Amino acid sequence: MSACTTTDILIVGAGPTGLYGAFCAGFRGLRTVVTDALPQPGGQIAALYPEKEIRDVAGLPGVIGRDFVAALLGQAATYEPQYLLGLQAVALDYSEAGRPRVTLADGHVVDAGAVILAAGIGAFTRALPAGEEFLGRGLSYFVPDPAAHAGHDVLIVGGGDSAVDWALALQPVARSVTLVHRRATFRAHAASVTALTGSGARIITDAVVEALSGNGTVQRAHVRVRGEPDLRVFPVDSVVAALGFASNLGPLAEWGLRLRRRSAVVDSRMRTNLDRVYAAGDITDYEGKVRLMSVGFGEVATAVNNAAVMLDPELSLSPGHSTDTV
């Protein structure tokens, strides 16, 4: 029999919006479970930009991604939410009492008083056209810890912000950094590209990785450069595929949500068309929607507090101020 967890609030998505939602729910005295398809909390920031400085959070002129995620986790930890990570939310049904029941990818069922979708732009999908067999054996899609690549010959594939940012972050610690991009121009910010050009990294444009090879772990990259008759082959210890991520709602799209532009339509209380299912952050859509992290924080606070009143009509919608509890 599959495991079952009962909670007041289930938050689907452990990115910044979901983590702040866990704090808000805990502040209202609600038991909270947070689930995410990614194996670590932090969403896109932890997965794609852990070393990048974030400058659009109120009150913080600049904060490194990993430090920001750690602060959100520390804030939420005050109320001890339960995390179920590396598990995609697959199906939604309802108990006889009308409570949402969400089944996760491993069969685990979470029975909740209310569900808050904070899944951002959905689950990430990605693939390197060649060399996928080396995933976990030299090939990766994220750089959670640059120190893991210390002394390595690193190949980074891609031309967006994450590719260039990782190349810059790894340049001081790696033995060598090579960036391969299939186009002649980059999508990354111009200032970052300029910094990369002057960093000493080898940059190969108009090129694709045709194959990776090695004995057990990746040891060589085979690169096809447009206009060259022969493949370039060079030694690598680590390959980081930063090809961009096609995002989609995955199974959430089959729940019966009212969608617009692949986002869940919500009202002013952040309610979706599904009973006891709320949404906040980039997954939501409504007239005048602004897709900023700061907006997501306000939305999830609205969702949590409206869910709290739905669960207990005797409660006040306003949670009061955290300083009042000190």
Q: Which two tokens stand for residue 291?
A: 């897709």
The binding site consists of 17, 36, 44, 49, 89, 124, 282, 323
Residue 125 reports pLDDT greater than 80:
no
3-state secondary structure 244-265: CCEEECHHHHHCCCCEECCEEE
Give ranges for CATH 3.50.50.60 in the chain.
4-124+246-325, 127-241
For range 275-292, the mean pLDDT: 95
Dist CA 165 CA 124 (whole Å): 19
Q: How much of the chain exceeds pLDDT 90, in percent? A: 74
Q: Which residue bears the tokens 């080898």?
A: 202
- Which residues does 261 contact at the CB level (< 8 Å), separation at least 6? 285
At residue 126 the predicted structure's pLDDT band, cuts being 50, 70 and 90, is low
Residue 173: Cβ-neighbour burial (10 angstroms; 0-12, 13-18, 19+): middle
pLDDT at position 313 is: 95
The mean pLDDT value for 40-45 works out to: 88
What pLDDT shows up at residue 200? Answer: 93
Query: Tens of pLDDT along 265-282?
Result: 999 999 999 999 999 999
Model confidence at 189, pLDDT cuts 50, 70, 90, reads confident
pLDDT given for residue 24 in this prediction? 98
Residues 4-124+246-325: name the CATH superfamily. FAD/NAD(P)-binding domain (3.50.50.60)
Whether 106 has a pLDDT exceeding 60, the answer reads yes
pLDDT digit string, tens, across residues 46-61 = 877 777 788 888 999 9
Tell me the pLDDT band of 1, cut-offs 50, 70 and 90: low
pLDDT of residue 53: 82
Ramachandran assignment for 214, one of left (phi > 0), alpha (psi -120 to 50 degrees), beta (any other): left
- CA-CA distance, 169 to 65, in Å (whole number)? 13
Strand partners, 104: 89
- Mean of per-residue pLDDT scores for the chain: 92
What are the phi and psi torsion angles at 30 (to 5°)? -100, 135
Evaluate the CA torsion angle 250, 254, 260, 265 in order and state its sign: negative
Indicate whether 160 pLDDT > 70.
yes
pLDDT of 39 reads: 85
Which pLDDT score, from 0 to 100, does residue 142 have? 78
* Torsion angle (degrees, nearest 10) of CA 100, 104, 110, 113: -30
Q: Stretch 187-197: mean pLDDT, rounded?
A: 92
* The pLDDT value given to residue 305: 98
pLDDT beyond 70 at 247: no
Fold for domain 127-241?
FAD/NAD(P)-binding domain (3.50.50)
Dihedral over alpha carbons 192, 198, 200, 204 (to 10 degrees): 70
User: Which of 180, 234, 244 lies closest to 212, judged by CA?
Assistant: 234
Short-list 190, 159, 156, 186, CA closest to 171: 156
What are the binding residues for FAD? 17, 36, 44, 49, 89, 124, 282, 323
Q: Summarize the confidence of residues 196-212 as an average pLDDT.
A: 95
Q: What is the reported pLDDT for 246?
A: 61
User: Which band of pLDDT confidence, cut at 50, 70 and 90, is reported for residue 244?
Assistant: low
